[in-house]
Structure 1
């Protein structure tokens, strides 16, 4: 992947978790120093503007013509995104495509796709191997996590059986790519949680970019001396300004929140919406998606009056092969917290000696964001 911007594809069957996955990648990869550029899914763009894809796909006289336009649009968007990504500062960049050119082969006969590609001057090798550095396939929820399958996306029209068939066809469309990884919903006989699925994807993407792989299931959190001066850190951190707001929920077991994040160096803004839901006793799902600034402002009207907005500045830095996040919380209380997600290159955590820790609070629920926002965190008391 050296010498150019890595271009990776996030694909999979319907209701596989791509929206949440893109949100996670857009948040986490900048903490490793990467600028992330996401090429949007063509089908979703079309559906959001009023075109009913489901009605087109049942008409044999329209499918081929429609997919030809989708392919042309896909290739054009990738070219535009890469062109302008090259103009952006920084030497660590990644282009993430919300589906890629080969996905179209799962919607038409193979002979039809070969003809489409040929008419546009491309071979399969061009559209699959030469174009993309890595492909990550998320399995549809209809395969192994049926209770979570839904039609929430405007571009989604398949029932569960159709979703399973589409998933298999999409997987087959990318057969032959030398760097393809499949993120399933099961491990052996065990259904994994959605959080585990997202963790596995993040680890695979990091591995493809040669980033030490975070094992996000293993997280450590420490309360740090309030007098810590970030200007005196003997490392060069990436700095983010973050505002997190909890929203009202009609379901007591649901937790809703929005987050505004600004990267200080570039000024880039990122807005996300998260719902934390209790699926069954002891298991909670936490789907997250990137939203527009307008959606963010609108959702702020639903803020929970019983919880205060959390305002903090985050300093993300590497020490001894490990990524650390040092959060300076200024509201609703003053706290300094150090967090680390262990990596596969670091079996034992080596804590930075230049940060004065008060105590470990990894398993202390009083120091969660929810408790901080509710005003019930004990702080340094």
Structure 2
């Protein structure tokens, strides 16, 4: 079976995602790679007479249509004879939650909650709504500009927390914005994770609330492994968890080749039997938030009350970045093995 990479692109109204998705599909198709697009379901529901008078009822229809479309696209992807398949989603299930006030009711209607929806996509790219001077209304895009900005904020409420989120800001022009998205896609498809990691003073979490962070509870266990780092992770909140298996082979201090898969609870429990007896499970709280268009993950641990980690994933080694002013950096430890979680797991902390 071909390797399938699932990438959802979303954004506020008039963010350019549909145009970008179509162009990406044409550009990334090759002799060795198939590309499929899962279309935006809302347009199909509207075309079939769906009404937005009741947003919960409307988004329930959209989500169910989306699930049908995703199932059909994945079936085609699995039948591909090429080595790799990329599926671009023009919005995903997660989007539906941003349009309703009663998100629990929507989850009950479709049998999928927000945490479950994240696990359907290997990466999630959020595009900023176009500036007001370029905003265009259509028969399907009925929101005025200020309403569009409010919808974008609601979208961020339900997407911040995804383990592989990218946010693409508006650039000088649309071509630059497209090239920025393309660079993110190239980074995702490369299989390499380029990460900046900072040892910081224990943060005042109340000061970070203005960034509306998502708090994830993580339990990370390292398995016996001859090459690289093999781990399993339980990640979620309020008793709702997703399970991951990750193999990471270090290329440089800050760059690693990473393969990550979503697994079932049963698979997670089975893999736990191969836990490295010389390493303890690492438990931590992770605060995910956006600052200046950059996606940060802040980890605090029960064994430290004076320091923590702040991590930022980059699309290239020379990418510029800006840290939040509330963060007090002790040291850049991106290349220091002694601050890798796998090393800490082997210590008596």
State the TM bucket, normalised to the shorter chain.
0.5 to 0.7
Alpha-carbon distance between aligned partners in 2 of 1:133 and 1:344, rounded to the nearest angstrom: 19
Q: TM-score, normalised by structure 2?
A: 0.52
2:45–2:61 contact (8 Å) kept in structure 1:
no
| Counterpart position of 1:104 | 96
Q: RMSD between aligned alpha carbons? A: 2.7
Deviation, structure 1 residue 123: 3.4
- Residues 167/345 of structure 1: CA separation in 2 closer, same or farther (3 Å cut): closer
* Structure 2 residues not aligned, in runs of 5+: 193-314, 319-349
- Residues 123/162 of structure 1: CA separation in 2 closer, same or farther (3 Å cut): closer
* Structure 1 residues not aligned, in runs of 5+: 187-191, 213-342, 347-381
Alpha-carbon distance between aligned partners in 1 of 2:109 and 2:96, rounded to the nearest angstrom: 15
Deviation, structure 1 residue 195: 0.7
Aligned to 2:7, what secondary structure does the other structure show? Answer: strand
Q: Are 2:140 and 1:140 aligned?
A: no
1:75–1:101 contact (8 Å) kept in structure 2:
yes
| Counterpart position of 1:268 | none
* Rg comparison, structure with higher value: 1
1:35–1:92 contact (8 Å) kept in structure 2:
yes
- Residues 158/13 of structure 1: CA separation in 2 closer, same or farther (3 Å cut): same
Q: Are 2:150 and 1:165 aligned?
A: yes
Q: What CA deviation, in whole Å up to 9, does each residue of 1:256-305 have, x standing for no partner? A: xxxxxxxxxxxxxxxxxxxxxxxxxxxxxxxxxxxxxxxxxxxxxxxxxx
Equivalent residue runs for 1:46-195 within 5 Å: 46-47=45-46, 49=47, 51=49, 56-57=51-52, 59=53, 62-109=54-101, 112-128=102-118, 130-141=119-130, 145-152=131-138, 154-186=139-171, 192-195=172-175
Alpha-carbon distance between aligned partners in 1 of 2:2 and 2:30, rounded to the nearest angstrom: 22
Deviation, structure 1 residue 39: 0.5
Alpha-carbon distance between aligned partners in 1 of 2:31 and 2:114, rounded to the nearest angstrom: 33
- Residues 24/345 of structure 1: CA separation in 2 closer, same or farther (3 Å cut): farther
Deviation, structure 1 residue 114: 1.8
Alpha-carbon distance between aligned partners in 1 of 2:175 and 2:32, rounded to the nearest angstrom: 23
- Residues 170/32 of structure 1: CA separation in 2 closer, same or farther (3 Å cut): farther
Q: TM-score, normalised by structure 1?
A: 0.48
2:126–2:166 contact (8 Å) kept in structure 1:
yes
Deviation, structure 1 residue 125: 2.0
Alpha-carbon distance between aligned partners in 1 of 2:78 and 2:158, rounded to the nearest angstrom: 29
2:43–2:140 contact (8 Å) kept in structure 1:
yes
Alpha-carbon distance between aligned partners in 2 of 1:39 and 1:168, rounded to the nearest angstrom: 24
- Residues 208/147 of structure 1: CA separation in 2 closer, same or farther (3 Å cut): same
Aligned to 1:11, what secondary structure does the other structure show? Answer: strand
Deviation, structure 1 residue 122: 2.5
Deviation, structure 1 residue 32: 7.8
Q: What CA deviation, in whole Å up to 9, does each residue of 1:217-242 have, x standing for no partner? A: xxxxxxxxxxxxxxxxxxxxxxxxxx
Alpha-carbon distance between aligned partners in 1 of 2:22 and 2:66, rounded to the nearest angstrom: 20
Regions of 4+ moved over 4 Å: 343-346
Equivalent residue runs for 1:1-381 within 5 Å: 4-31=3-30, 33-47=32-46, 49=47, 51=49, 56-57=51-52, 59=53, 62-109=54-101, 112-128=102-118, 130-141=119-130, 145-152=131-138, 154-186=139-171, 192-210=172-190
- Residues 209/72 of structure 1: CA separation in 2 closer, same or farther (3 Å cut): same
